[in-house]
Structure 1
Amino acid sequence: MASADDANRNREQVRQLIAGIDDDVANGLLKGAIDLHVHSGPSTMPRKLDHMEAADEAAAAGMRAVLFKDHHYSVAPVIPMMERLFGDRGLSMFSGLVLNNSTGGLNPFVVDAQLKMGAKLIWMPTAQAGNHIRSAHRKTRLATNVELRPSPALTVVDPYGKILDEVKQILDLIAEFDVILSSGHLHVWEIWKLFDEARSRGVKRLLVNHPMYGLHFTYEDVRDLAKLGALIEQSAGLYVDSRFNTYTPEELKEHILAAGVEHSSIGSDLGQVDNPTPVEGMRQAIKLCLALGFSEAEVRTMVADNPARLLGLTG
C-alpha cells in the first residue's frame, strides 16, 4: 500500500510520462476499446457520473463496449432501456451480478434469474468477501466508504477447503449460459480452488481483477493463472493520476508482463467522485502503457481485443 507521499510521487511521474504521448494516438486507441470495470451510479457510494453519463462519454470516445459494475445490485435489467437511448451510437453495454450478501450472496436462484435477464458476468463476493473484510479493516482502498449493515464474511470454500455445493451450482449456471466468471475479491488461495472447480465444470471465461491489489497474488500466481486461460485485468485507477494511485508506472509494466500482453486487459475501475471518469482513466492508462514502451498493437490487444474475446464479441 503506497503512502500519501509515494502516491503523490507516482502521480507526478504519471503526469510527466503521459505528457509526452500524442492525444490523437491515445484517442485512436480508445476507439473500439472495451472497459469491463465501470463504477458509475446510482450506487450506495458517491459516484462522479451515472450510467447514462458514462455511456454517453464512452460513445463519444468511440468505444466499443462498457460493462457496469456495482457491488450491491445488478445493472443488467436496466441495459435494454439504455440500449434504446444509445443503441444507435455503436456502443454495446453489459452488466452482471456481484455475489455479495446485499444481492443474495452465494445464491444460485438469484444467479439463474439474473442470467436470464442478460447478465454477462458473475463476480464472486467483493465488498463482503472474507478476504475483503479482513483487508478493509486497515482502511485500505478496498474499504467501501459507506456504512452498511455488518455482513457475514463470505467464502466459496467449506472449513476443509472444498468448494461449497451452492457455488458448484452457480458454476454450472455460468457454464450453461457461457458467461464470464470473475474471482471478485477472494483470496488467491480461494481463487485457485474456485477456478480449478470452474474449469472442471465447463466454465470457459475466467477473469481476475486487480490481482496484485488486496488479493495476495504473487507474480507466479499471475503467470500460472494466465497460462490456464484467465484474463488478468489491471485497474487503471491504481496506476494513473487518481486518488486510488497505489503503484509506480514501472510496476504497471511488471504486472502486465507477469501475465503477458496476450493474457492482459485494462479496465478503468473508475467512476468514483474526485477521480478521473472511466473514459479519462482509460485514456491515461493507454498513454502510460505507450510511455512504458508497449506498442500500439500491444495496447490495442489489452484494451480492445482481449476483452472482446472474453465477452464473446466478434468482428
Structure 2
Amino acid sequence: MTGSTDVKDEQRVAALLRGAIDPHVHSGPSIAARSLDHIELLEAASQAGFAAVVTKDHDYSGVMTAALIKKHRPDLTTKLYSSIVLNNVVGGLNPYAVEHTAALGGRIVWLPTLAAANHLRWQAAAKWVHPASTERMRPVTAIPVLNDDKSVRDDLKEVLDIVAKNDMVLASGHLHVSETWLVFEEAQRRGVKRLVFTHPEDIVDASLNDVKGIAAMGAFVEHSLCMFLDGCKFKSREPEDLRNQIDAAGVGQTMLCSDLGQVGTFSPLEGFGRGIQLCIDLGYDDDEIRKMVSTNTARALGIEADVAAAGAA
C-alpha cells in the first residue's frame, strides 16, 4: 500500500468515524481494570465526531452515571447511552432493575454474560477467569434462562415484557446460541421489537447458519471488532471470518462495535477506526460501512431522532 493510499484511507476512516455509533464499550469505573472512564470515552468520541456511544459494564447499570455526565458536560457532542447486564450483581433476571434502567433512559438489556451457564462452561474450558468476574468476592452462580423443558423461565418472561413495553433492545449476551434462538422467539411473541445477537464469532458457539437465521428473524448481528484486529490481545478470528459473518447476516442487519476499553490493547476509538480500515481492506464501500457503523445501529437502538438532532446541533 503506497503512502498516498494510506493518507486517502486515513481520510476515509476519519470521515466514517464522524456520525459513527459504538454500541458496546467497556469504559470505567469497573472492578476490571479499564483504560479510560466514561467521561474520557465521551471526550475522545466527541473529538472524533461520533454520534453516540453505549457504555456496558458486566456488573452495574450505567444509567445514573450517564445522567450525571449529560448534565455536567453539555459541551460533549456525542450522545451517551447506557445499559444493564443481567448478571448476579444486579440480581440476575431482576425486573425491578430493568424497570429502573428503562426509567432512566437505558437502551440495552443484555442477557447474562459472565453469569451465563454457557460463559462459565467456556471459561472453565479456557482455564481463565474474566477480570470483571465477581468470583473474587464469592462464587458466581449461573443464571438459567430456560426451564428443563427448554421453555423460557417466567422471571425472564417478565423481563421481556418490560423490554417490550419500553421499546428497549434485548441483547443475547453470552448465552449459548441454542438458548438465544429460544429466548429471541419468545421475546418476539411478547412484543420485543429490537433484538441484537452479540458477537457470534466467539464464546456463544454460533454457526454461519445461525447468524443467517437469526438475522432473517429481524435481529441485528453485532460483531466485536477487537476479535478481528491484528495486534489486539482479544484477536481470535481472521479478517475473512468477518467477511463471512457479514455475508451471512447481510450488510443491512450487521452492526459493528469496538467491545474495547480494557487495559493493554487499543482504545475504543482506535479499535473502531482500525475496524473501519479492516472493512475498507475487505472491499466494502463507504455506504456499506456507514450502515454497519452508524445507521443500522441507530435503527437497532431506536435513536435515529436523537442522533439526527445531535448532528444538527
Q: TM-score, normalised by structure 1?
A: 0.91
| Pairing 1:33–2:23 present | no
Q: 1:293/1:310 Cα in 2 relative to 1: closer, same or farther (>3 Å)?
A: same
Pair 1:117-2:143 in alignment: no
The residue type paired with residue 28 of structure 2 is G
Question: 1-side partners of 2:78 and 2:301: how far apart?
Answer: 14
Query: Is the contact between residue 33 and residue 131 of structure 2 (CA under 8 Å) also seen in structure 1?
Result: no
CA contact (8 A) 1:174 1:180 kept: yes
Q: Describe the shift of the 1:310–1:24 C-alpha distance in structure 2 as closer, same or farther (beyond 3 A).
A: same
SS of corresponding position for 1:252: helix
Which deviations, in whole Å up to 9, do the C-alpha atoms of 1:72-111 show, x marking residues without a partner? 0111111121112443332110011100011110111221
Q: 2:198 aligns with which of 209, 232, 240?
A: 209
Q: Does 1:136 align with 2:127?
A: no
* Root-mean-square deviation over aligned CA pairs: 1.6
State whether residues 188 and 215 of structure 1, in contact with CA within 8 Å, keep that contact through their aligned partners in structure 2: yes
Find out whether 1:295 has 2:296 as its counterpart: no
What is the rounded CA distance, in whole Å, between the counterparts of 2:11 and 2:71 in structure 1? 30
Q: Does 1:65 align with 2:55?
A: no
Deviation at 1:43, TM superposition (A): 0.5
Which of 143, 149, 164 is residue 160 of structure 1 equivalent to? Answer: 149
Question: Which segments of structure 1 move beyond 4 Å, counting only runs of 4 or more?
Answer: 18-21
Task: Find the counterpart in structure 2 of residue 311 from structure 1.
Answer: 301
**SS state of the match for residue 137, structure 1?**
helix
Aligned partner of 1:199 among 175, 180, 188: 188
Mapped pair 1:252 → 2:242: yes
Please give the secondary structure, in 2, of the residue aligned with 1:66: strand
Deviates more, 1:279-288 or 1:106-115: 106-115
Alignment: residue pair count = 298
Pick aligned residue for 1:169 from 158, 162, 185: 158
Aligned residue for 2:140? 151
Identical residues among aligned pairs (%): 40
Unpaired segments ≥5 residues, structure 2: 309-313
Contact 1:158 1:164 in 2 (8 A): yes
Closer, same or farther: CA 145–76 of 1 in aligned 2, 3 Å: closer
Which structure has the higher relative contact order (CA within 8 Å, separation 6+)?
A: 1
After TM superposition, the structure 1 stretch with the greater mean CA deviation from structure 2, 137-146 or 69-78, is: 137-146
Which of 36, 40, 53 is residue 53 of structure 1 equivalent to?
40
Which of 269, 280, 286 in structure 1 is aligned with 2:259?
Answer: 269
Displacement after TM superposition at 1:20 (Å): 8.0
Matched residues in 1 for 2:42 and 2:127: separation? 29
1:208 deviates by: 1.0
